Amino acid sequence: MYSHFFTIAALAAIASAQNSTSSNSTSSSSLIDLLGSTPSLSSLSAAVVGVPGLAGVLGSATNITILAPSNDAFAKFMESPAAAALAANDTAAIQALLTYHVLNGTYPASAVTQTPAFIPTLLNNSAYANVTGCQVVEAVRQGDNVVFYSGLLSNSSVETADQNFTGGVVHIIDTVLTIPQNVSSTAIAAGLSGVAGALTRANLVDTVDSLKDVTIFAPNNSAFQAIGSALPNLTTSQLASILQYHVVNGTVAYSSTLMDGASVPALSGGDLKITIVDGDVFVNSAKVLIPDVLVANGVVHVIDNVLNPNNTAVAPEPTASVQTPAFAGASSVASLDYTSGIPTPTQAIGAGPTPAEESGSSTAASSSPAAGAASPMKTGAMGAAALFAGAGVWMNA
């Protein structure tokens, strides 16, 4: 069905081969020595040394990659809305954020390619990572830059790579990672009011938030508006069936694992057909506009069409700027009544328009940078002071 873990396995093999041949692969420096001797990590160094037991835990770990926010990254984080969100010192969120910055494996920057790889971190708390194994970050090379994408497409670029220590390697990054949120919160933050409103109307919010290992193809607002005349006539059960047809349960299918010609079972029954044409990804007749939005329980791909479980034979139109709606006879509307109670996001998750504003341009080749850190699934990413004060809970977890 999918080439599960092929990309990450290949990346790990490359990393292993490069580590075995690199003259810098067996550095004698401890992590604490490395942090203490790196001026741009003085904030992180002071925090690690100042928290009883934390230095020992990190120093004794092996075969890890630490994505270490720089002093400027912490300063930027402290000015973000997320810093105030966890002033209450949520110990579970502290543990989650710390472990999300530690990759399971040693990955030099040279192992990261232009093909996105989804690397497991040490974050496995099911309240924040309802996936098999651990939550991931996306690693991809964009030009000369190595970039890590986290929740809400937050973009963390590597400023200084391959700082080796006895347990692995440190990459200094320019932005604190964002722990992926649940599906409903991500939809609201992404401006996908059509999805958020439809889930609410169909009583599916708790269902999609609690399912484990999901892939969701989420129509943008324009897609719902394109069939707007048909929506008021749907019963709750009919709407739920349509929405469940957009969900694959039991498989987290990142863009790099989708294969041309694959058929995948939808939660509602029936199959979804994957088509790839010149790098553009289609599911049935819908085009993937924004891939790989990480969520707590899997991944979301934003698409330009609402899928119809009763019209599965419709084929994609690769040259069209917008795909033809799959609901025959439906006409477009200017607004959706059932979205009136959905909160408006305070900032876009990407550097460009929100997914709701995308019309026809494809972004399937890469993710979009985010404006800044945002909250984990339960509450939010914590302020640096709370993180440093409470980091000792990691040793007792």
User: Is a pLDDT exceeding 50 seen at residue 162?
Assistant: yes
User: Is a pLDDT exceeding 70 seen at residue 376?
Assistant: no
Q: How many CB atoms lie within 10 A of CB 366?
A: 17
User: Is a pLDDT exceeding 50 seen at residue 176?
Assistant: yes
pLDDT tens for 308-344 read: 999 988 889 999 988 899 998 899 999 998 888 888 8
pLDDT band at 85 (very low <50, low <70, confident <90, very high): low
- Which residues touch 121 (CB under 8 Å, ≥6 apart)? 99, 100, 101, 102, 103, 104, 134, 135, 136, 137
**What's the average model confidence in pLDDT over 339-353?**
67
Structural tokens at position 348: 């876009």
pLDDT, position 84 = 59
User: Is a pLDDT exceeding 70 seen at residue 42?
Assistant: yes
pLDDT, position 265 = 95
pLDDT band at 20 (very low <50, low <70, confident <90, very high): very low
pLDDT, position 263 = 93
Distance of CA 139 to the CA centre of its chain: 11
Distance in angstroms (rounded) separating the CA atoms of residues 384 and 372: 15
pLDDT, position 173 = 97
Distance in angstroms (rounded) separating the CA atoms of residues 38 and 300: 37
More confident residue, 43 or 269: 269
pLDDT tens for 199-237 read: 999 999 999 999 999 999 999 999 999 999 999 999 999
Structural tokens at position 134: 């651990």
More confident residue, 238 or 85: 238
pTM comes to 0.82
User: Is a pLDDT exceeding 90 seen at residue 142?
Assistant: yes
Structural tokens at position 87: 């002033």
Give me the long-range contacts of 56-62 (CB less than 8 A, separation at least 24): 56/395, 57/394, 57/395, 58/31, 58/167, 59/30, 59/31, 59/32, 59/166, 59/167, 60/167, 61/102, 61/167, 61/168, 62/166, 62/167, 62/168
Q: Where do we find the tokens 């002033």? A: 87
Nearest of 248, 250, 235, 11 to residue 138 by alpha carbon: 11
What are the CA-CA distances from residue 297 to residues 107, 118, 133, 248, 251 (Å)? Answer: 24, 14, 11, 12, 10
**What's the average model confidence in pLDDT over 182-191?**
94
pLDDT, position 381 = 30
Mean pLDDT of the chain: 80
R_g of the chain computed on alpha carbons? 21
Structural tokens at position 129: 């990572």
**What's the average model confidence in pLDDT over 282-297?**
96
Q: Is 92 exposed, middle or buried (0-12, 13-18, 19+ CB in 10 A)?
A: middle
